[in-house]
A = this chain, B = another copy of it.
């Protein structure tokens, strides 16, 4: 007699034995394939339910050669924006009957050393990358299995990976347009990391709006706020010291916008009377700052959901084309922007 550490699960064979048929017939019934008489069909289903049969997806995966599982490699799970996207992605996967294996990257590591192997060993059907820091990882594209569908929410060096992102260029454009429409002439920007494409795209859109209005380029009036409140506060101070004529400011994230707000207050500049501020992201608390923040709404949840949708479609069709999808953004007007007060 065998000794078993854990109570065994009931298998299709157990169900078959109890129903007096071969286990293959049981399998047919459970999957609705093949032709089985209504009588045995009902009997088998009854027994399966009585015994509490739960199919073993591991075994099924083995023969089917697909796991119905997506590997999700996340930068920082506790980042509010990323986790929004992850929620969207997970929900979409679930809706389509897929499971999601998540692993997050250590701040220092590139993720290629643990995350990817772990996913490959588990034979995930596709990989979703939700990790901004991977934009800086040059070797990444190299180490990805080229036969495995991959979708990223961020730029991947080499352009060989499909991406789904918000329309960053438009975000920059809308921010500038909004401020220019309110007759601002000297616009400054607190950016995210310069190396990131989202930063570059937003800058480009911003500049495009400026040149459309023949406003002098603000290239010099940009500082890196490193996406942190404190750093942005300091950046804002530097900008205003460099050019006191600034009447409007575009921060590449709401957190940085909040930093800017604090800096402006500390420098005695009222918002929006003396300086307008446009944020980006539309985080929850943006509605609760004082004044409430005008910002660009980035569709994080939708980006995650859309990326997962694309990934699952790639899996279904076997396509590996590195499609690029842009999702629309929109400006949400609150009270941190107003018409420029500097008269001439």
Q: What residues of chain A have their CB less than 8 Å away from a CB belonging to chain B?
A: 5-7, 9, 54-59, 61-62, 65, 67, 69, 76-78, 80, 83-84, 86-87, 90-91, 94, 99-104, 106, 114, 117-118, 120-123, 147, 229, 258, 262, 285, 288, 318
Contacts and interface: CB of A to CB of B under 8 A. Distances in A.
A55 B119 CA distance: 11
Nearest to A284: B229
B120 A54 contact: yes
A78 B82 CA distance: 8
A315 to B, nearest CB: 10
The listed residue with most B CB atoms (<10 A of its CB), out of A83, A94, A117, A123, is A83
Contacts of A76: 87
A3 B297 CA distance: 48
A64 B122 CA distance: 15
Contact of A77 (B6, B90, B288): B90
15 contacts: A6-B318, A7-B147, A56-B123, A57-B122, A69-B122, A77-B77, A77-B86, A90-B102, A94-B103, A99-B101, A99-B103, A99-B122, A100-B103, A102-B102, A285-B285
Contacts of A7: 147
Contacts of A100: 101-103
A84 B94 CA distance: 23
B104 A90 contact: yes
Nearest to A4: B65
A121 B59 CA distance: 10
A182 B336 CA distance: 38
Contacts of A114: 94
Contacts of A102: 90, 100-102
Contacts of A56: 62, 121, 123
The listed residue with most B CB atoms (<10 A of its CB), out of A80, A84, A102, A114, is A102
A28 B181 CA distance: 72
Given A5-B318, A56-B121, A62 B65 contact: no
9 residue pairs, one from A and one from B, having the closest CB atoms? A78-B83, A57-B121, A102-B102, A58-B61, A77-B87, A7-B147, A54-B120, A58-B58, A78-B84
Contacts of A69: 101, 122
Nearest to A67: B58
A58 B122 contact: yes
Contact of A91 (B80, B84, B86, B104): B104
A83 B118 CA distance: 21
Nearest to A61: B58
A274 B101 CA distance: 51
B57 A123 contact: yes
A67 B120 CA distance: 14
Given A76-B87, A91-B104, 13 more contacts: A5-B318, A56-B62, A56-B121, A57-B122, A58-B62, A77-B86, A77-B87, A90-B103, A90-B104, A94-B118, A99-B101, A100-B101, A100-B102
A80 B80 CA distance: 7
Nearest to A104: B90
Contact of A147 (B6, B57, B91): B6
Contacts of A83: 77-78, 83
